A and B are shown apart, each in its own frame.
Chain A
Amino acid sequence: MSRTTIDLWVGVLVVLGIAAFFGLAMKVGNLTTSSLGETYSVTAEFENIGGLKPRAPVKSAGVVVGRVDSITFNSKNYAAEVTIKIDQRYPFPTDTFANIYTAGLLGEQYIGLEAGGDDVDLKNGDKIAKTQDAIVLEKMISQFLFSKASETEDKNSKNEKDAVSDSGENAKSTELGDPPF
């Protein structure tokens, strides 16, 4: 095999390899989408951020408009301070509402921005005043169980007062699964 043929084939191999690498980086990985252009950063304070992580998406109307830059703990008021970077192309009014949502039932958490009606736009370093915390699933379940328990308690006491042995009602409550307390 002559040297030029070998050189040609090795050149083909290297070019293919570089093309595959860029394909992986751009098309499969999210190198293009994660690098936003010009951004401005604003902060927002939350009582509870749940499972929010840095680099989580910031969405408005379902479109990714920015990313979470950093999350720090403010020891003065014991709240989480989240810095988010928003694309310069998307201005938001100062009374924008920031919520922490969960994608799907168990998916990753992201910040949803709902634009307000103010004329003045948020500037670099501004703070979003209106925030809503993440919904913690355990808290919700315990609240639900608690309300369910008090409901069945009421029902049982009512049944006892009426002194009617309505077995169907009781069977229904056990069918639902009695709360453990």
Chain B
Amino acid sequence: MSKINLVNKLLSGLHMTGHRVIEQIWRLGAGARLFFLTLTYSAESFRRPHLIVREMYFTGVMSLIIILVSAFFVGMVLALQGYNTLQKYGSSESIGVLVALALIRELGPVVTALLFAGRAGTAITAEIGLMKATEQLSAMEMMAVNPISRVIAPRFWAGVFSMPILVCLFSMVGVLGGHLVAVAQIGVDVGAFWSQMQANVEFADVTDMLIKSFVFGVACTIIALFEGYDAPPTAEGVSHATTRTVVTSALAVLGLDFILTSFMIVA
């Protein structure tokens, strides 16, 4: 009798694993389909650019304060920590290089994307999830308005356009924060700070930063949109979807960052 019990338990465990894997693959496929549908219907939303501008206000402008403040503090902390180690090797003049390269190559795109997922991604998911729960999306379909071209595509392009702008601002403000600590507080020479930075930061680093920010913008926005679009139309469903947006976006950003960086370092 106990033997049959054990077999049953094992079988149900296998059932659960299989079910979960199939569900994840289904979600991946559904997300990819939503992505391609968004791309195909985005021509319609480009004909009404004020929709994109409106969403850029909510995703870009409203994220500005959190992005700028955290950039300033990240830059300041980088300068403090970097100086602490670099002065042991007598090369505290390289502090500008350290701050600028760390911000432009890694921290700028990654931290901005993580903050963006937390600030704008969750808002998108909750909004679309609630639109679905209150049957606004079905109502649009009833009126022969395609919800993907009217709701999804403008938000997608707003996120994709906002992200590189936010990343540029993050890196620039971070460098200024590092400048404040290194030059004004610690007393590193201003000329050495900027000239070492200019000698070692390539324009290719800045373009790599833009490529990364574009990819992260696409990933974060489409994840937020899909989680909202796919959320069960209940209060609990929307709350779960919002949580999943943050978790999935963070993992996707960090994973993509490794892949992109490995290509950029080799190239």
The interface stretch among B80-88, B125-133, B200-208, B228-236 is: B200-208
Cβ-defined partner of A16 (8 Å) among B100, B165, B197, B205: B165
Minimal Cβ-Cβ distance residue in A for B173: A20
B162 cross-chain contacts in A, Cβ below 8 A = 13
User: Given known contacts A12-B61, A17-B166, A20-B168, what 7 new A-B pairs fall within 8 Å (CB)?
Assistant: A3-B54, A14-B165, A18-B165, A20-B172, A21-B168, A28-B172, A30-B198
Minimal Cβ-Cβ distance residue in A for B175: A28
**Proximity bits, A13-55, B CB within 8 Å = 1, else 0:** 1101110110111011111011000000000000000000000
Interface residues, chain A, with chain B CB atoms under 8 Å away: 1, 3, 6-7, 9-10, 12-14, 16-18, 20-21, 23-25, 27-31, 33-34
In the complex, what distance in Å separates the CA atom of A18 from the CA atom of B60?
14
Interface residues, chain B, with chain A CB atoms under 8 Å away: 50, 53-54, 56-57, 60-61, 64, 100, 104, 162, 164-166, 168-169, 171-173, 175, 194, 197-199, 201-203, 205-206, 209-210
Minimal Cβ-Cβ distance residue in A for B68: A16
In the complex, what distance in Å separates the CA atom of A3 from the CA atom of B100?
37
Minimum CB–CB distance for B89 against chain A, Å: 11
In the complex, what distance in Å separates the CA atom of A6 from the CA atom of B59?
12
B56 cross-chain contacts in A, Cβ below 8 A = 10, 13
Q: Is the CB of A31 within 8 A of B61?
A: no
Minimal Cβ-Cβ distance residue in A for B168: A20
Q: Is the CB of B61 within 8 A of A13?
A: yes
Minimal Cβ-Cβ distance residue in A for B64: A13
A34 cross-chain contacts in B, Cβ below 8 A = 202-203
A-B contacts, 15 listed (Cβ < 8 Å): A7-B53, A10-B57, A13-B56, A13-B162, A18-B165, A20-B165, A24-B168, A28-B100, A28-B175, A28-B198, A30-B198, A30-B199, A30-B202, A33-B199, A34-B203
Interface of A is mostly: helix
Minimum CB–CB distance for B74 against chain A, Å: 15
Q: Is the CB of B194 within 8 A of A27?
A: yes
Report the 5 A-B pairs with minimum CB-CB distance, sorted nearest first: A17-B165, A20-B172, A20-B168, A21-B168, A6-B57
Residue among B54, B165, B197, B210 with the highest chain A CB neighbour number at 10 A: B165
B104 cross-chain contacts in A, Cβ below 8 A = 24, 28
Q: Is the CB of A13 within 8 A of B206?
A: no
Q: Is the CB of B198 within 8 A of A10?
A: no
Q: Is the CB of B165 within 8 A of A13?
A: yes
B166 cross-chain contacts in A, Cβ below 8 A = 17
In the complex, what distance in Å separates the CA atom of A3 from the CA atom of B165?
21
A1 cross-chain contacts in B, Cβ below 8 A = 57
In the complex, what distance in Å separates the CA atom of A10 from the CA atom of B64?
11
Q: Is the CB of A10 within 8 A of B61?
A: yes
Minimal Cβ-Cβ distance residue in B for A23: B172
Minimal Cβ-Cβ distance residue in B for A57: B199
Q: Is the CB of B197 within 8 A of A28?
A: yes
Minimal Cβ-Cβ distance residue in B for A64: B199
Residue among A6, A25, A28, A33 with the highest chain B CB neighbour number at 10 A: A28
In the complex, what distance in Å separates the CA atom of A139 from the CA atom of B201?
31
